[in-house]
Structure 1
Amino acid sequence: MIPDFNHSHVLPPFEGERMNSAHSSPYLVTSSELVQRFAISRQRCVVLDGLLRYRSELRGIGFTQGFQWLDGSFVEDIEAREDRAPKDIDAVTFAHPPPGMSNTAINQLMSARPDLFDLERCQREFHCDNYIVNLAMAPERLIVHTRYWYGLYSHRRGDALWKGMLQLPMDSDDDFARVMLDPLMHQGEPNAGST
């Protein structure tokens, strides 16, 4: 469940008196929960559409196991704080490589699909500021990458305010989320969820 925004217009880093995994960031969500909560404006629907398309493309080339950490102004109440809509969603995809694929083949695949792995193209085509972390790398390197992304995503840019983020499994209910989102993409201002 996605918690309410706090007085600073961000997701809280944890809920309750003490931190525990069930009530602390990153909060585990489904794709349909994202749509229900954040499809509240035309621009947010465009970003959600891009995220769902991006996830579909990743799964289509074999990146089916793992999860994404979602962050940035998209998971904040940026409309109340800065009177603007979010332009994209920040995502770090922690994924196992496609089964049986060598590092050379993975590098070739990434070169062949710059729309998915080149930061500028991914932002332009999918509204995702996305980075990939290979879950098959050496544990020491994986810890370094995880520490970096957690430190970056758990603090707001500009004032370093501690905040929460979301975790979306790669095998979530994207098809159902798409059914929810498509009608909202074709109407004026959606009125789904609350902020």
Structure 2
Amino acid sequence: MTSTENTSPSIPPFDENNLLPPYRTDRYDVMDNFHDEYLSPFKCTLLELCERFATSKERVEILKGLYFFRKAMFNHNILLGYQWLYGSFTENIEAIENRSPNDMDVATFYEGPPDTNEAHWKKVFPEFVSNTLSKEKYKIDQTSYPILVAPPSHIIHVDIVSDLIQLFTHTRKGVWKGILRLELNTPEEDEKAINYLNSLQL
């Protein structure tokens, strides 16, 4: 299987378990305190994600699916929010299970345009609210979590996020691991990513 050890300044190397670490032990400040960028979810751009993980044909196809999914979100005016990336795609699954990843697990936290709800998305963008459809079309296992900035909705959001971070940052065997974060509405950076993917010869 192809190695997934390309380098990226924003994404730490795999640990001894072939997982992203939950925090970076290689970067402390002089007071031995962590900065936000040293903690999971690690923020990165789509280009940085591609530079790190586009190491096989299977992974390139999944990354292209993520690009087109994000482009569809942009076209539907889903611009505020971020995505968490987790699961076998962000692990060295080639070494762990001697296989390529089948898809990418994605959680999208978003504030949509006014007067939109799940019924609206089912009509105009069904892949956004159906992980079955998103896997079929984009090779991503996608779940959407609508959020609002104004209280009291932000309290509900905090509760949801605290539950999900525990779920997404542990393997089925209970091993602690890191995940990644992508901001929404970065079309210029995303175009650099797809150009990078199209330039690869694997």
Map 1:14-163 → 2, pairs under 5 A: 14-16=23-25, 19-98=34-113, 101-102=114-115, 105-112=116-123, 113-136=125-148, 138-156=153-171, 158-163=172-177
Greater RCO, CA 8 A, separation 6+: 1
Match of 1:180 in 2: 196
5+ residue gaps in structure 2? Answer: 1-9, 26-31
Distance 1:107 1:73 in 2: 28
User: Residue 47 of structure 1: SS of its match in structure 2?
Assistant: helix
Match of 1:5 in 2: 14
- Per-residue deviation, 1:15: 1.1
5+ residue gaps in structure 1? Answer: 190-195
Distance 1:149 1:106 in 2: 21
TM-score when normalising by structure 2: 0.85
- Per-residue deviation, 1:19: 4.2
Asked if structure 1 preserves the Cα contact closer than 8 Å seen for 2:45 and 2:183, the reply is: yes
Identity %: 29
TM-score when normalising by structure 1: 0.88
Distance 1:81 1:134 in 2: 34
- Per-residue deviation, 1:120: 0.4
Match of 1:167 in 2: 181
Summarize deviations over 1:124-175 as a string: whole Å, max 9, x none.
Answer: 111111111112171221112101211111111x201000000001133101
Summarize deviations over 1:40-65 as a string: whole Å, max 9, x none.
Answer: 00000010000000011011101111
Summarize deviations over 1:97-133 as a string: whole Å, max 9, x none.
Answer: 12xx12xx33332121222321101111111111111
Distance 2:142 2:159 in 1: 18
Distance 1:153 1:139 in 2: 20
Summarize deviations over 1:165-188 as a string: whole Å, max 9, x none.
Answer: 00001133101101101122xx3x
- Per-residue deviation, 1:86: 0.5
Q: What is the letter of the counterpart of residue 128 of structure 1?
A: I
Q: What is the letter of the counterpart of residue 61 of structure 2?
A: V
Moved runs in structure 1, 4+ residues, more than 4 A? none
